[in-house]
Amino acid sequence: MFGLENLGLVGLFIGTFLAATILPFSSDVLYMAILAATKDPAGCLIVGTAGNWLGSVFTYWIGWIGKWEWIEKWFKVKPETLQKQKSYIDKYGVWLALVCWVPFIGDVIAIALGFYKTRPVWTIILLLAGKFARFLAWNLIYGLF
């Protein structure tokens, strides 16, 4: 994971933030590695959630101010992908923010939510709820083993 696991909670924050933005990797492996190394479920939950949430908020904001050209260049999302997502956004609205934690497609959903100007406050709150639930689930799974 680019050496981030050696940085402890700081590495977790950086990695989870980047995983929700520009780098195509899942933060789950990094999260579990740092959770196992630190044995600090509360710290990992707070830091992992904060990093991943802020990364998604940043991605949402990029979508909000974005132009097709930027989104294609920086996020490698084709216009037809966003158009396809629009039908889901029209149907489910801000509730899609709850699944922005899903690796790879979550970033596209966050961009689309911003691009199609969903309600910012509710989108950001639901992004937080989804990210928190994801890492809480990993803590519970880790606790079973």
Judged by DSSP in three states, 24 sits in: coil
Confidence of residue 1 (pLDDT cuts 50, 70, 90): low
pLDDT in the model for residue 43: 97
- Percent of the chain predicted with pLDDT > 90: 65
Confidence of residue 23 (pLDDT cuts 50, 70, 90): confident
Nearest-10 Cα torsion for 77, 78, 83, 86: 0
Confidence of residue 68 (pLDDT cuts 50, 70, 90): confident
What token pair was written down for 64?
Answer: 């909000």
Smallest Cα–Cα separation from 101: which of 63, 138, 64? Answer: 138
Using the predicted structure, report yes or no on whether residue 88 has a pLDDT greater than 90.
no
What's the average model confidence in pLDDT over 109-127? 95
Cβ-based neighbours of 133, under 8 Å, separated by 6 or more = 98, 101
Instruction: Enumerate the domain spans of the chain.
Output: 4-144
pLDDT digits (tens, 9 = 90+) for 34-61: 999 999 999 999 999 999 999 999 999 9
pLDDT in the model for residue 84: 81
